[in-house]
Each structure stands twice: as structure tokens, then as C-alpha cells.
Amino acid sequence: MLRKRIIFSLLYSDGYFMQSRNFRLQKVGDIKWLERNYKFKEIAFSLDEIIVLDTTKPHKDINKFALTVEKIVEGTFIPVAAGGGVKCLEDAELLFKSGADKIVINSALIDNPSFVKELVKHYGSQSIVASVDYKIVNGVTELFINGGTKKIDISYVDYLKHLLELEIGELYLNSIDRDGTGFGYDYSLVLLTREYLNIPIILAGGAGNENHLLEAIKMKDISAVATANLFNFVGDGLPNARKYIINLGENIANWDVNK
């Protein structure tokens, strides 16, 4: 049985890292602040993966973002997925050369599916993560692209079928309603997603403490849990959460989180 993963998501915007609540962003600090407060090189054993997303508006600078990815990757020795505004093979290649192991795609899934197919053909499905941002409104799933600013007119089931055709390798399922609240994850789409996609599901949006991570990890259809909550998991928050989950005997890698 594949081990479950704990992922830390970093939201980047024009040289700074952001805290998000319901996709409303607040500037927190730059790369020096991040290293001072999280010390990625020291806490690498408490993480299985890092996801870095460029949320810069209105105009993204892929070269500047790639340099930030390079700094994060340096010395961490864990997989890194990067995305946000990737529009062509050259963008993806730059992020791979900067140390990314996977590319995260959101808007292009709808705006340019032929490009996504090209990405999959060129790099393999295992290297492509589909990021799906959603809200539940009166029991109906609403899907969004462009950093949560543009609603797309498609049912969730039809979207799952669309992703199946694109042959993406992993799904990052992110609740806008729960994002940054610390109230826990939304599980309402997990079983339906599994009916159509037999790929790893990363659940994101809502983690506020170690029990939220634990609850999601226990679900058989969830492969990984992600948190972008910079405040709730500052300092030793992530190492302590991992030790807590390991001590309860859950199926995650037993790294030496004291290193």
C-alpha cells in the first residue's frame, strides 16, 4: 500500500509569500522570512512534498518565479511541484530546470487542453497535477479558474470526464469555501471524484491543526493532504503534526523528524 503524504503549499506573489482565506490574499513575507520562520532545509523530514503556486496578478513573471522555486528547492531533497500561469512547454521546462519535479495546471485545463495533452505527452502524466478550485453553492459544485476569479460553466462530473481524457497524473482538490479557515477539509467530492479518476487525490483547503491532517489521511481514497496555512503551522507545527500522526500508527513515512 502506498504511503500517504503530507504536503505544504506555498502561495507566491511577486516576490512574497501569501496567506490565503477564501482565495483573498494577504502578504506575509519574502523568501528570507520563509527561511527564518520555516527553515525548510531543517524540516524537510516532516514533509513529503512542497507545492509552490504563483498567484501574482495581473501579470506573472515566470523567470522571477522560477528563481524563487530554485531557492526553495536548494537543499530540501524532497519533491517540489510548481505552477500558476504555465502556458507553454517553455514555461514548464524552465520550472523543471529550476528543480520542480511536477507541474501544476489549473486554467489551461479549460483554456488550452491541447497544451495540457502536449505536456503529458512530453513529460508523462506522473509529472502533471491538475488543480481544481471549487465552491459548493446550494448543494451544487461550482468550478473556478484564474485564481478563483472565473467561474466555468461545466458540471463537476463532466469536468472529471474531461480530466480523464487529458490523462493527468494527480488531482489537487481545493475548496475555496474552506481555504484558510482552519475549520477542516471538505470531503463532499472525494467519493464522486474516485468514481471517475483512478489517480492520487490531494485534498487541500481548511487544515488548521494536526487532527485535520489525521482525519483526511485516514480516508482510503485520499492519497495526500495539503496545507497552505502559514500561521497555524509556523515553527515546529509541521514536524509536530507528523510525529503525532506517526505515533498513532498511520500509513505515512516514518522519517526522523527531529533532524
Check whether 257 has a pLDDT greater than 70.
no
Determine the average pLDDT of the residues in 52-62. Answer: 94
Asked if residue 54 lies in contact with residue 9, where contact means CB atoms within 8 angstroms, the answer is: no
Does some domain include residue 21?
A: yes
Question: How far is the CA of 215 from the CAs of 90, 178, 200, 219, in angstroms?
Answer: 39, 15, 17, 7
Does some domain include residue 256?
A: no
According to the model, what pLDDT value does residue 1 have? 64
Which CATH number fits the domain that encloses residue 141?
3.20.20.70
According to the model, what pLDDT value does residue 33 have? 85
pLDDT digits (tens, 9 = 90+) for 184-243: 999 999 999 999 999 999 999 999 999 999 999 999 999 999 999 877 776 778 888 999
Active site residues: 133
Question: How many domains are there within the chain?
Answer: 1
- Domain range for 78: 5-247
Phi-psi region of 77 (alpha: psi -120 to 50; beta: other; left: phi over 0): left
According to the model, what pLDDT value does residue 259 have? 45
pTM over 0.75: yes
Does some domain include residue 257?
A: no
Mean pLDDT value across the chain: 92
Does some domain include residue 252?
A: no
Does some domain include residue 95?
A: yes
